[in-house]
Structure 1
């Protein structure tokens, strides 16, 4: 007698496994679990560009609706990096739509992340001395987001919790299951790797 193997619960699957299964089956619950894992980062990106927070929250929901379609059509090899870029581009489209709508839509303001301590000299070097240079700042912010997405998952998660969600060491340990020593290690290594990625000069590796 043969028994049909029950599919694994989505919470037990990695990002890659969830993405692969969603592309194969179209099961939105799998995509929902995958997106929820990265939602704090997506919301933080949206808040950099969109105000008030309600607009950022709307953008987070709109992005999920877009992913339902686009991830069935396009193969994605690095989901965190792809999601960062997709969220950023969605917000920029919203800002450009506001600009076209005229002054009554309110001022267009880009909110850069308060993460100077994360990259040490890295983000200061990227942002430069001219905050009015919108095009250059967009490119630098994208570099920062992609560098963060390229970190090992434990380092990226700890940095996001510490700098984007303002969690203390104990709260990060509770959220991730890591002990305090490992949390501090992931933060230290993540900051060093992020700085090295943003500024690949020999001095940055020290």
Structure 2
């Protein structure tokens, strides 16, 4: 007599096993169990960027819906690190949308790689950095201004790479550029950003130095 072996339940599988089975079979229950394991960390990341908490909760659910498609098409080696970076990118894109919507959207406090961190951010591909400094709305606007001054092709490649965490191949598919040209646009764009910030006036104190000076008075 032969007995059919039941498939293991999602809770019995590791993160890597759940990812593999989800890519093969597409069972939302598998992804749901996997996401629930890391949901508290994702919510904590979203709360760093979004207020009130209801906005952070909405972002958590939006991110899950995004993963339904993304994880069917892409292999992920280190899921926790990848998920943290993806959650962070999602929040940054939401904040950029608010920035474009105008001041009525409320103040923005975000983290974003400045000129000094462009190369390190690229190599880490927006991984979490515990020592990363917070940037105020004014510095975000400065970066937006710098990006706006770039040629459209460079600006688009930088946004896709840093904010949407897309690889060269995907950027090439979305933009129609050859992979080598994508790499060139990224390198030239990063150099232009660095030159922009290196040449920016230093007479105006940064938000952090300004607050420190006020505190010393």
- 1:16 partnered with 2:16: yes
Aligned to 1:2: 2
Hey, what's the Cα distance between the residues in 1 that align with 2:109 and 2:130? 19
Change in Cα spacing, 1:123 to 1:27, as seen in structure 2 (3 Å) is closer
Aligned to 1:59: 59
Relative to structure 2, which stretch is displaced further, 3-12 or 57-66? 3-12
Aligned to 2:133: 127
Hey, what's the Cα distance between the residues in 1 that align with 2:8 and 2:81? 26
Hey, what's the Cα distance between the residues in 1 that align with 2:139 and 2:98? 19
Hey, what's the Cα distance between the residues in 1 that align with 2:18 and 2:74? 15
- 1:101 partnered with 2:101: yes
Residues 25-174 of structure 1: matches in 2 within 5 Å? Answer: 25-110=25-110, 123=130, 126-127=132-133, 133=139
Aligned residues of 2:18 and 2:31 also touching (Cα < 8 A): yes
Change in Cα spacing, 1:52 to 1:73, as seen in structure 2 (3 Å) is same
Change in Cα spacing, 1:106 to 1:133, as seen in structure 2 (3 Å) is closer
Secondary structure at the residue paired with 1:21? helix
User: Which structure ranks higher in relative contact order (CA pairs < 8 Å, sequence separation ≥ 6)?
Assistant: 1
Structure number with bigger Rg: 2
Hey, what's the Cα distance between the residues in 2 that align with 1:20 and 1:102? 42
Cα shift at 1:108: 1.4
Cα shift at 1:105: 1.3
**TM-score between both structures, scaled by the size of structure 2:** 0.52
* Runs (5+) with no aligned partner, structure 1: 112-121, 136-206
Hey, what's the Cα distance between the residues in 1 that align with 2:84 and 2:35? 12
Change in Cα spacing, 1:3 to 1:123, as seen in structure 2 (3 Å) is closer
Post-superposition Cα deviations, 1:155-200, rounded to whole Å, max 9, x if no partner, equal xxxxxxxxxxxxxxxxxxxxxxxxxxxxxxxxxxxxxxxxxxxxxx
**TM-score between both structures, scaled by the size of structure 1:** 0.55
Cα shift at 1:2: 2.6
Hey, what's the Cα distance between the residues in 2 that align with 1:26 and 1:3? 26
Cα shift at 1:97: 0.2
Cα shift at 1:109: 2.1
Q: How many residues align structurally? A: 124
Post-superposition Cα deviations, 1:102-158, rounded to whole Å, max 9, x if no partner, equal 1111111238xxxxxxxxxx956x439x866557xxxxxxxxxxxxxxxxxxxxxxx
Hey, what's the Cα distance between the residues in 2 that align with 1:84 and 1:103? 28
